[in-house]
Amino acid sequence: MTRTLAAGYTLRGDAPPLTDYLELRRVSGLSEKTPEQGVAALEGSWAFRHVVDPNGTVVGMGRIIGDGGWYFLIADMATLPEHQGRGIASAILDALLNHIRASAPAGPYVTLTADPPGRRLYESRGFTDVAPAATGMHLRLS
Ligand SMILES: CC(C)(COP(=O)(O)OP(=O)(O)OC[C@H]1O[C@@H](n2cnc3c(N)ncnc32)[C@H](O)[C@@H]1OP(=O)(O)O)[C@@H](O)C(=O)NCCC(=O)NCCS
C-alpha cells in the first residue's frame, strides 16, 4: 500500500542543513555522526530528500549514495519520533525511487540495510531479503 504524506508537510528535493541531519540521526536512534562525516554525507550523495513541517522544522530525510549508472544505496532514512506514522518516510522513499527511475539508465540495482523499523516500509515498495542467496556483511574500521 502507499501511505500519503499527511497534510501540512512539505517534501523538499535536497539535503537538510547539517545540524538537522546530525540531530535527526541522533533523535531517531541511528548512530551519531560527527560534523565532518555529516558534511561529506550532504555533499557526496547522489540524491537527497527531506520533509519539513508547517514551521519549517526538518522532520524526516533519506538519501541515495550512488554512481548514477547502476548501483544505488538508500541510506539515512529517518523520521522524528513524534512525526512517525504520517507517511513521511514513505513519501521520501517514493521520491528517491522515482528519481532513480527518471534519471538512471535501465536496470538499476537498489540496495539498503533494513533496520527493523523500516522493514515493512521497504517490503511494501518491493525490496526483498538477499538471503539465502547472499549475506549482508559490514566492516567497521577504527
Ligand atoms: C523507519 C522510519 C524512517 C519510518 O518513518 P515514518 O515516517 O514513520 O514512515 P511512514 O509513516 O511513511 O510509514 C511507513 C511504514 O512504517 C511503519 N511505521 C511507521 N510508524 C510506525 C510506528 N509508530 N510504529 C510501527 N510502525 C510504524 C508502518 O509499517 C508503515 O507502513 P504502513 O504504511 O503499511 O502502515 C521511522 O520509523 C524511523 O525513523 N525509525 C528510526 C530510524 C530507523 O530505524 N530508520 C531506518 C533505517 S533502515
Give the pLDDT confidence of 100-127 residue by residue, as tens digits.
Answer: 999 999 999 999 999 999 999 999 999 9
* Count of CA atoms in the C-beta half-sphere (13 A) of 102: 7
CA distance 53 to 121: 21
C-alpha cell belonging to residue 130: 538477499
**pLDDT averaged over every residue in the chain:** 96
Distance from residue 3's CA to the centre of ligand 1 (Å): 11
Which domain range does residue 33 map to?
A: 10-124
Residue 27 has pLDDT above 60, yes or no: yes
Which tops the pLDDT comparison, 65 or 6? 65
| Residue 131 placed within a domain | no
Band (pLDDT 50/70/90 cuts) for residue 4 is: confident
| Ligand 1 atom nearest 62 alpha carbon | 3
Distance from residue 60's CA to the centre of ligand 1 (Å): 11
- CATH number of the domain that residue 32 is part of: 3.40.630.30
Residue 80 has pLDDT above 80, yes or no: yes
What is the domain count for the chain? 1
CA-nearest residue, atom 33 of ligand 1: 3
